Amino acid sequence: MKTLYELKQNLATIGQQLQKVENQLAEKAVDPNATMEEIQALQKSRDDLKMRFDVVKQQHDALEEEQKAKFAANNGLNSVDDPKERIIKAKAELIRATINQRPVSVDVRQALGDNDTTGGNKFLPKTVSTEILSEPFVKNPLRELSTFTQITNLEVPKIDFTLDDDDFIADTETAKELKATGSNVQFGRHKFKVFAGVSETVLNGTDTNLVAKVEQALQSGVAAKEKKVAFATTPKPGEEHMSFYASGIKEMTGENLYKAIKAAIADLHEDYRENSKIVMTYQDYSDIIETLANGNATLYTAQPEQILGKPVVFCDAAIHPIVGDFSYSHFNYDLNALYETDKDVKTGVQAFVVTTWFDHQIKLKSAFRIAKVAPEA
């Protein structure tokens, strides 16, 4: 089978011959000395060459279309056999298309777990949304403690089981709380945006670097927002219920932080005390060790759980230690996250922007205590 280059050469050769014969035919047609036999011979030669030209051109066009299709496939998602690489390539195309304000192809959206066939909606594909919003990220310690879901219009019971006799709840504080606030909790939708700045160099770089840069920025932003609302001392109006410090959790005091934490653990009902943990700043823990050690170096090498009696998680945002069963701290994200682009006119850096909705519900305030040092008299 001839190559495309050879077919192009043949087309050029036959085309030149055809043009020559047509010129000769035109000259003979107006030459009074030319015979009909000469004219008919040139016509036959022209028709033969025209037929040969059409056959070669058909072969050329078919082979050219085939090679174009192969080239497009080899440069698209279908050319990638590794599923992980295909998703990275699809994510990179989603980011680039958004920032360059181009439509996102159906192939890209389908590779990212989205069944959209129009290619026109601005909802973040499921794979990307889940990895940004729900994958654990080390910079938010609550990711290892709290419950995280991604369900629209979520409503859950505050306790995992009930009995036919509602007097089974031994903790009177929990019984009073359920009576006052109901046995279910319904999650709301609080909007926030995360901006991932993308420079031209990164945008035009490798797919891996582009996706890693954007996802890390978005995950960091999401983690920062979660911490901000959960540990806010002066939350925004309407977000008070999301904060451990503004939602009405019971406070326990002591003459020092060590005794306050011990009192908080003891005050929890055994149902919550069994699975309780302490979230506090490393500075507060260091101060406790320094006070307790009193020159004894042994305490500095002991595990925090050995000192305080419960596992400790350090978080600089926890300005007052929080003690409790953090399975009753529940973050829920709406499934529909929007994506768009924005430009920082000051720096010229493009941004990949994700808009999402979430809520943090402390399902049972009685499952927590806040430890504080008692004010001096």
3-class SS string, 149-162: ECCCCCEEECCCCC
Q: How far is CA 18 from CA 10, 57, 69, 141, 174, in A?
A: 12, 13, 31, 79, 97
Whether 288 and 257 have beta carbons less than 8 Å apart is answered as yes
Q: How far is CA 298 from CA 87, 225, 258, 261, 287, in A?
A: 51, 38, 17, 21, 15
Residues 281 and 132 in one domain: yes
Q: Which tokens belong to 65? A: 């279309």
**Does the reported pTM lie above 0.85?**
no
Q: Which tokens belong to 70? A: 């192969």
| pLDDT computed for residue 74 by the predictor | 47
111 domain-assigned = no
Q: Which tokens belong to 174? A: 């929990």
327 domain-assigned = yes
Residues 246 and 371 in one domain: yes
Give the torsion through C-alpha atoms of 53, 56, 58, 59, to 10 deg.
180
Q: Rounded to an integer, what distance in angstroms lies between the CA atom of residue 105 and that of residue 85? A: 17
| pLDDT computed for residue 77 by the predictor | 67
CATH of the domain at 339: 3.90.1690
| pLDDT computed for residue 164 by the predictor | 44
110 domain-assigned = no
Residues 154 and 295 in one domain: yes
| pLDDT computed for residue 377 by the predictor | 59
Q: Rounded to an integer, what distance in angstroms lies between the CA atom of residue 232 and that of residue 319? A: 9
| pLDDT computed for residue 229 by the predictor | 96
Residues 163 and 37 in one domain: no
At which of 75, 90, 106 does a domain end?
Answer: 75
| pLDDT computed for residue 245 by the predictor | 97
Number of other CB atoms surrounding residue 126 within 10 Å: 16
| pLDDT computed for residue 5 by the predictor | 75
Those residues with Cβ within 8 angstroms of residue 371's Cβ, 6 or more apart along the chain or in another chain: 251, 252, 253, 254, 257, 260, 261, 263, 264, 280, 320, 321, 322, 323
Number of domains in the chain: 2
| pLDDT computed for residue 277 by the predictor | 97
Whether 43 and 15 have beta carbons less than 8 Å apart is answered as no
69 domain-assigned = yes
Q: Which tokens belong to 264? A: 């908080």
Q: Rounded to an integer, what distance in angstroms lies between the CA atom of residue 325 and that of residue 119? A: 44
Residues 261 and 145 in one domain: yes
| pLDDT computed for residue 284 by the predictor | 96
Q: Each residue of 183-229: pLDDT tens digit?
A: 789 999 999 999 998 888 888 888 899 999 899 899 899 999 999 99
109 domain-assigned = no
| pLDDT computed for residue 104 by the predictor | 82
Residues 39 and 135 in one domain: no
Residues 133 and 227 in one domain: yes
Q: Rounded to an integer, what distance in angstroms lies between the CA atom of residue 194 and that of residue 86? A: 25
At which of 60, 75, 90 does a domain end?
Answer: 75
At which of 59, 75, 91 does a domain end?
Answer: 75
113 domain-assigned = no
Q: Rounded to an integer, what distance in angstroms lies between the CA atom of residue 92 and that of residue 51? A: 49
Residues 71 and 128 in one domain: no
267 domain-assigned = yes
Residues 186 and 323 in one domain: yes
Residues 276 and 363 in one domain: yes
Residues 176 and 30 in one domain: no
Q: Each residue of 316-338: pLDDT tens digit?
A: 999 999 999 999 999 999 888 88
Residue segments in the chain with a per-residue pLDDT below the cut of 50: 73-74, 118, 161, 163-164, 168
Q: Rounded to an integer, what distance in angstroms lies between the CA atom of residue 219 and that of residue 1? A: 54
Q: Rounded to an integer, what distance in angstroms lies between the CA atom of residue 346 and that of residue 344? A: 5
Residue-number span of the structural domain to which 27 is assigned:
4-75
